[in-house]
């Protein structure tokens, strides 16, 4: 008989819980709310929120919104230019920037001002990710973004990174890769100030999720297809347990993944709702 366990630490991070709570509270009294970008990188949760009146818009769509409408800034945050534009358009802001991200934005700006034109701001993060765009925007684009140690090496060797270096990270990146980046810069004798800005909740999840993956025969990792954090955590699970499979919804589950005596662990990204993890676990239980 298949045994199924849900990872108790999987599901929305605190910043996403806060943002969705604010959105739902607003939609209890109003028929619609515009979100600048996807509130969360999970298609099933976006569908649920859409039924309540949440409408996702892009930056270029803002000019078509009537003045006085409410626009939600999601947990990823936005650069200063976005706030200026929203103000010019006469839209009301519901700011749901995660407090961890907000502190990171402030820290990057302070470090940049301290460099006073000397040295480099380096951000370890997903190029083009909403959170990273918000971080780069704090310094007017004057930062080097790298997704891994290999990209850092390339940028360093071509002279794009000058000492001293103020090193930051997107909040949801892999702690082990961040450490590799730090070690590389140190090995090159670079004057380095490393700000460990990976969210503590996320950092702990990496270590604990690897243990969870090893403790089961099969792992079903539930995540939206656009979740950057989901891809990182899925690969973490797969490295710990080769029998790790990705599923967006119950419809993606393949019974061929399982044997009758398997212990199955169900886990997910920081953008995966708890209700979806529970739905997937229930479905797998019916396969035994």
Q: Per residue in 70-108, pLDDT tens?
A: 999 999 999 999 999 999 999 999 999 999 999 999 999
Res. 22: pLDDT tops 90: yes
Q: Given the structure tokens 């061929």, which residue do they identify?
A: 256
Instruction: Please state the domain extents for the chain.
Output: 3-11+201-285, 14-99, 117-195
Indicate if the pLDDT at residue 189 is higher than 80: yes
How confident is the model over 214-268, as pLDDT tens digits?
A: 999 999 999 998 888 898 899 999 999 999 999 999 999 999 999 999 999 999 9
Helix or strand (DSSP H, E) at 218: strand 218-222
The larger pLDDT score, comparing residue 35 to residue 201, is at: 35
Same fold, 3-11+201-285 and 117-195: yes
What CA–CA distance (Å, rounded) separates 14 from 78? Answer: 18
Assign domain 3-11+201-285 to its CATH architecture.
3-Layer(aba) Sandwich (3.40)
Which are the contacts of 5, defined by CB distance < 8 A and separation ≥ 6?
Answer: 216, 263, 264, 265, 266, 281
Residue with tokens 């080769």, as numbered in its chain:
242
- Considering only CA atoms, which of 149, 191, 168, 189 is closest in space to residue 111? 168
| CB of 94 closer than 8 Å to CB of 54 | no
In DSSP terms, which residues pair with 55 in a beta bridge?
Answer: 34
b/e for 221-235, b at 16 or more Cβ within 10 A? bbbbeebbbbbbbbe
Cα angle, residue 91 at apex, residues 89 and 96 outer, rounded to 5°: 130
Residue among 45, 131, 147, 177 flagged as catalytic: 131
Please determine, looking at this structure, whether the domain spanning 117-195 carries the CATH number 3.40.1010.20: yes
Say what the pTM is: 0.89
131 is catalytic: yes
- ∠ CA 241-216-283, nearest 5°, is 110
pLDDT at 140 over 90: yes
User: Residue 288: pLDDT above 80?
Assistant: no
Which residues, listed in sequence order, are joined to residue 4 by a DSSP beta bridge?
264
Q: Which fold has domain 14-99?
A: Rossmann fold (3.40.50)
């Amino acid at each position: 008989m298949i045994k199924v366990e849900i990872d108790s630490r999987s599901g929305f991070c605190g910043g996403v819980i806060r943002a969705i709570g604010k959105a739902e509270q607003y939609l209890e009294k109003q028929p619609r709310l515009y979100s600048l970008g996807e509130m969360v990188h999970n298609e099933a949760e976006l569908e649920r929120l859409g039924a309540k009146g949440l409408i996702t818009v892009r930056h270029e769509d803002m000019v078509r919104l009537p003045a006085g409408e409410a626009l939600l800034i999601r947990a990823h945050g936005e650069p200063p230019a976005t706030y200026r534009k929203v103000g010019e358009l006469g839209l009301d802001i519901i700011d749901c920037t995660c407090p961890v991200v907000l502190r990171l934005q402030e820290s990057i700006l302070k470090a940049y001002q301290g460099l006073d034109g000397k040295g480099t701001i380096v951000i370890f993060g997903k190029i083009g990710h909403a959170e990273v765009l918000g971080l780069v925007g704090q310094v007017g684009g004057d930062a080097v973004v790298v997704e891994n140690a290999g990209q850092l090496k390339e940028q360093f060797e071509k002279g794009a990174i000058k000492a001293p270096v103020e090193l930051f990270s997107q909040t949801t990146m892999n702690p082990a890769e961040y450490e590799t980046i730090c070690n590389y810069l140190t090995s090159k004798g670079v004057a380095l100030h490393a700000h460990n800005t990976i969210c503590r909740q996320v950092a702990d999840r990496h270590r604990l999720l690897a243990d969870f993956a090893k403790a089961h025969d099969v792992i079903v990792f539930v995540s939206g297809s656009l979740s950057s954090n989901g891809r990182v955590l899925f690969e973490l699970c797969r490295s710990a347990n080769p029998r790790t499979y990705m599923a967006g919804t119950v419809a993606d589950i393949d019974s061929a993944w399982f044997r009758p005596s398997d212990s199955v662990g169900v886990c997910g990204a920081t953008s995966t709702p708890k209700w979806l993890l529970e739905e997937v676990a229930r479905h797998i239980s019916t396969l035994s």
